[in-house]
Structure 1
C-alpha cells in the first residue's frame, strides 16, 4: 500500500500541475513569439491610399453620386442576383512602384473596368454554374502612367452577400500587400497558427496514444475542434489567401470548419453526462449531438449537390453554436452539483469562450447591418478557443492522471492478489483460476507438479532465511526452464506448479530432462545448497469425457499422485 500512496503523491504534485502548466506555457510563448515576429517591421508596411470618396453607386433602384463609402449604406442587403456598380476617377500619383487596387468582396463576383476595359474578373464562371463564389480579398494591378482613368467595379451577389457597405477599397504597393496584411492581422494570424499547431499535436498524440489507452480519444476530438477553429479563422480573415488558396476554397473551409466544430466539441464531453448522473441531461446530449451532426451532414450533401450553399445556413449554425454553449454550461453545473470540482474550471472556460464568440459576433453584426467597424473584436473567437482548449486540456490531464493512478492501483492490487511475495511467481489463487478457465474453454493443457526436497532440513539447520534463499533459487530454476513455455507458480511451502497449454511439439520427458540439466548446472555453480525435487505430470487429455475436460482437479490430483510416486521411488533408491 505504500506504493499506492507514493503514486498518489506523484499525481498531486506533478502530473496534475506541472505537465499541464508547462504545456500551456509553451503554447502561449509560441503564440507570443509569432506575434512579435510578425510585428517587427510594422511601421515599414503600413502605407496605403484608401479610395473612399467621390464614388458613384448604381444599383437596380437608385443612383447615388459623390458617395463617401465610410458613411454610405445600401438600402437593402445585397440579395441573390442583384448587381451593384461603383465608379470614380483614378490618378496614379507615383507614390507606389507597382500600384494595386485591393477590394474585399462578400459572396459576390467582381469585375474591374479601367476606361471601359475589363482588366480583372473573379467568380463569374462559378456564378454561371450555380456554384459558391466565396468571399475574399482581391488585388488588381493598376496602370502607372500618371494619367486620369475611369475606374468601375461591378459586384454581383451570389446569395446573401452579408454587407451593407463597401469600405475595404484602397491602393497599395504590390511588393508590400501581403506583408502589410499579415502585420495588420498578426494577432489573428498568431492565434490561428497556434490553434492549428495545437490541433495537429493533439490529433497525432491522440491517434498514437489510443493504441494503448482508449480514453485518449478525447485528444482526437479536441484536436479536431482546435483545427476547425484555426481553419475557420484563417478562412474568415483571408489568411489562407496569403498561401494562394482560391477565394471560393477559403470560404468553403471557413464554413465547413464552422459546421464541423460544434459536433467535435460535443464529442469531447461525451463522458460528462455520466458524471452529471441525470437522465434528461444525457438524453439532451445525444439529441443535440446527433441533430447537429445530422444537419451538418445534410448541409454538406446540399452544398455538393448544388441545391444550397453553406453560407446560406449561417443563421442555423449560429443557433446551434449558442445551443451547444448553453448546454455545456448546464452540463458543467450539473457535474459540479455531483461533486466534480474540475467542472467549475470548465464552466469558466465555456463562459469565456461564449463571451469571446459573442464579442466577435457582435462586431460582425455591427459591420453587417449598421456599418460600425469593431475591429478590436477580430480574433476573439480564436482567443476564446485557445483559453477553452487550455482549460479542457488541464481538466483532461487531471482525468488521465486519475485513470493512470487507478490503473496503477489496480496493477498493485492485482500483483498482491495473484503473486507470491517471496518468489515473484504466480500464487495458488492465480493458478487455480487459470486451470478453471482452461477447463471452461476446453483448452488442453499439461500440469507439472514439483515438490522441492530438503526445505525442512535447511530451515532446521540453517534457519528460515536460508530456506527462503533455497525457495527463491529453485523458483529461478523453474522460470529458466519453463518460463517461456507456460505459467510457473508456487502453490505454497515447497510445492510448485507449471501449467503449459498443449502443443504438438510438447514432450514432457524432454522438458523434464531440460529442467534437470539446468538444476544440475545451478548446483555446480554454487555451494551451500543442493537443489533436488520430486516431480509428476499429467495431461488433460487423460481426463476427457465426450471430448470435454470434465474436472480440472482430477488432472491436478493425477500429476500430484505421480509426483509422490516419484518421491517414493527416489527415497527408496537412496536406501
Structure 2
C-alpha cells in the first residue's frame, strides 16, 4: 500500500470509530415512564422439573445447554408495580421456540404453534406482548416448546414498560448496529448503481461491483442477526434471511479474493472455493427441501469460515512480502482481512459465551461485528477514491498524450494529423463547408535576416491572429512550416471575405506597432459545392490551395513582396 494513502485510511477509521462511540454513548435515551428488566425471580420448569428463583441469564445452569426439539419450558413470575404507565407491554425474544403468554391463567399472546405443528422453521423473534393497565402483581407465565436442537443457552430478560419507552430503549441499545446496517445498505446500493454503468467497459471495476453487493449482503445479515426488524415489522423469515446471508459470506470472500489477487495455483484455489460454495448450496437444499434446518448445519459454516480466514491471512502475508498487487487491491485486501479477523473473534466470543466462559458478551459481540463491517466499508470507500483519482490521472495523461499527438508544438494549434482527421470526418457528412488555405509571406526572409527565434515569433503572432479571427466560427490548424488551414461550416463567400478582411486588418495593426518586419499572408478558399458532386475534402482543399498560390504570385509580381520580404 502506498504510504500516501495510509494517513487518509487511518483518519477514516478513526472517524468511523468516533462516530460509533458518539452513536452508542452520546445519543442518550431517557424513558418517560419507569421500566423494569425481568431477570430475577422466575420459577422455571423444563420437562416437568421445577427450578425456583432462577435468573433468565443463568438458564443454562438448569439445562447444561442441552435442549432438543419437543422439550417443554414453562416459566412464571410476578409482575412488579411500575405505577400508572400508558400502553404497558413486555418485549421478549423467543429463540427457536413457540411462545404462549398468560396473565393470571388468561392467555394474552400466542406465537408459532401452527408453524411448530407443520415442522417449519421457527427462528429468533422479538415480541411485543400487550398488557392490561392493571397488570401489577399478576402472574406472568410463558410456555415454550422447543423446535430446534440446542435452541438456546440463555434467554434475554423481558423488558416491561410503556410501549414507546420500550421501543426507544430497544433502538438505543441497537443503534450502532442499525446505523452500520443502514450505512452498508446505502453504500452498497449507491456504488452498485455507479459500477453498473462501467462494469462492461472497465474490467478492473468488477471487484467494486462484488464489493457493493457484499456490503448489501452484510447489511441484511447484521440487521437480521440481531433481529432489528421483528419488533416493528413481523416476519417469520428474518432468521432465515440471517442464515441465508451469513452462509454467503465465505463464497463472497473467495470470489472477492479471486478478483483482486494473482492466484498462483488456480486449480487448487478454485477447488477450495467451489467446495465451499457447494457446502453453502447443500445447506440451502437441506433446509428448504429436506427440512434439516440451517441452524443444525451451523458448525459446518463455522469450520468453512475458519478455513477461509486462513486463506485470507495467507494471501495478505504473501502480498506484504511480494508486493505484486496494486495499491487499490491492497486496500481491499486489508479491509477483507480486518473483516475476516472480526468474524473470527466474534466466532470465539460466540462459543465462549455459549459455554459461559464469557458471560455478558453481547456488547463485545456487537462492537466486534460493527468494527469489522465498518473497516471493510471504509476500505471500500477509500479504494473507490483511489480508483477514481487514478482513473482521473490516467484520463488526464491520455488527454495530454492525445493533445501532443494532434497539436502543433510551436503554436498549440491542431497539427496536420488532426486536420487530416477533421477532413476525413467531413467526407462522412453532407455539409457544404469552406476550406481556406493560408500561407505566410516572407518567412524564409525573416529567418535568414533576423534569426529563427524571430521566424518562430512571426508564426506564433500570426497563429494568435488566426485564432482570434476564426476560432469561434471554424477549425484552424498549422499543417506545415508556413502553411495554415481553416475549415468553416455553414458559411457564405460574403462571410469568408469579411473574416479574411478582419484577419488582414489585425496584421496591419500588428505591423504598425511592431515594424521590425512586414507581416502578410496569401489566402485562397473553396466551397464544397464548387467541386464535383462526389468530391472529397482533399479535392476541395487542392482547389483552395491553387487559388492561394495564384494570389501569392500576384502579390509577388504586383507588390514586389519577394524583394522586400
What is the TM-score normalised by the length of structure 2?
Answer: 0.74
Q: Please name the residue that 2:215 is paired with.
A: 226
| Whole-angstrom CA distance in 1 between matches of 2:343 and 2:49 | 36
Q: Given the alignment of the two structures, is residue 149 of structure 1 paired with residue 133 of structure 2, yes or no?
A: no
| 1:381-392 matched pairs, under 5 angstroms | 381-392=369-380
Aligned residue pairs: how many? 537
1:57 aligns with 2:43: no
Shift of 1:120: 0.7
Give 1:21-420 correspondences, 5 Å limit: 21-39=10-28, 47-51=36-40, 53-58=42-47, 63-66=48-51, 68=54, 70=58, 71-73=61-63, 76-79=66-69, 82=70, 84-88=72-76, 90-95=77-82, 97-98=84-85, 100-124=89-113, 132-142=121-131, 144-149=134-139, 151-155=141-145, 157=147, 160=148, 162-175=150-163, 176-183=165-172, 185=173, 189-194=175-180, 196-197=182-183, 200-201=186-187, 203-204=189-190, 207-208=193-194, 214=202, 219=208, 221-241=210-230, 244-248=232-236, 250-259=238-247, 261-262=249-250, 269=257, 271-273=259-261, 276=262, 278-281=263-266, 314=298, 317-318=301-302, 321-322=305-306, 324-340=308-324, 342=327, 349-367=335-353, 373=359, 374-375=361-362, 377-379=364-366, 380-394=368-382, 397-398=385-386, 400-420=388-408
Deviation at 1:357, TM superposition (A): 1.0
Which segment drifts farther, 219-228 or 24-33? 219-228
Measure the CA separation in 1 of the matches of 2:545 and 2:530.
16
Mapped to 2, the partners of 1:562 and 1:299 lie a distance apart of: 84
For residues 471-510 of structure 1, the aligned pairs below 5 Å read 471-479=459-467, 483=471, 487-498=475-486, 509=493
Judge conservation of contact 1:481–1:514 (CA < 8 Å) in 2: no
| Shift, 1:386, TM fit | 1.9
SS of structure 2 residue aligned to 1:167: coil
Three-state SS of the structure 2 residue aligned to 1:412 is helix
User: SS at the partner of 2:155?
Assistant: coil
User: Cα distance 1:166–1:141, how it changes in 2: closer, same or farther (>3 A)?
Assistant: farther
Provide Cα deviations, 1:407-444, integer angstroms capped at 9, x if missing partner.
44443343334322332212234445x379769x9788
Distance (whole Å) between structure 2 residues aligned to residue 558 and residue 340 of structure 1 = 59
Q: Which runs of 5+ in 2 are unaligned?
A: 561-565
**Cα distance between partner residues in 1 of 2:423 and 2:274:** 45
In 2 relative to 1, CA 147–506 (structure 1 residues): closer, same or farther, beyond 3 Å? closer
After TM superposition, give the deviation of residue 199 of structure 1 in Å.
5.0
Partner SS for 1:56: strand
Change (3 A) 1:569 1:260: farther
Aligned match of 1:568 in 553, 558, 561? 553
- Give the whole-Å Cα distance in 2 for the aligned partners of 1:464 and 1:388: 62
Change (3 A) 1:329 1:559: farther
**Distance across 1 between alignment mates of 2:546 and 2:404:** 30
The superposition leaves residues 235-262 of structure 1 with CA deviations (integer Å, 9 ceiling, x where unpaired) of 22233346x1224254354345435555
Q: 1:569 to 1:302 in 2, by over 3 A?
A: farther
**Does residue 1:516 correspond to 2:500, yes or no?**
yes
Name the stretch that deviates more: 508-517 or 291-300. Answer: 291-300
Contact 1:74–1:164 under 8 Å retained in 2: no
SS in 1 for 2:141: strand
CA RMSD of aligned residues (A): 4.9
Unaligned 5+ segments in structure 1 are 1-10
Whole-angstrom CA distance in 2 between matches of 1:296 and 1:360: 20
**TM-score normalised over the length of structure 1:** 0.73
> How far did 1:72 drift?
1.9
**Deviations 1:209-248, CA, capped at 9 Å, x for gaps:** 8768956665554344334334422222233346x12242
**Residues 325, 150 of structure 1: CA spacing in aligned structure 2 closer, same or farther, 3 A cutoff?**
closer
Task: Work out whether residues 192 and 229 of structure 1, in 8 Å CA contact, stay in contact via their aligned partners in 2.
Answer: no
String of CA shifts for 1:254-273, please: whole Å, max 9, x gaps: 34543555565566556423
- 1:561–1:108 distance in 2 versus 1, CA, 3 Å: farther
| Cα distance between partner residues in 1 of 2:346 and 2:3 | 38
Instruction: Write out per-residue CA displacement over residues 165-187 of structure 1, whole angstroms, 9 at most, x where no aligned residue.
Output: 3432335223542344345x35x
Q: Deviations over 1:42-77 (max 9, x none)?
A: 9x987423156321223xxxx211264521227854
CA distance in 1, matches of 2:437, 2:293: 76
CA distance in 1, matches of 2:35, 2:253: 38
Q: Is the 8 A contact 1:444 1:541 kept in 2?
A: no
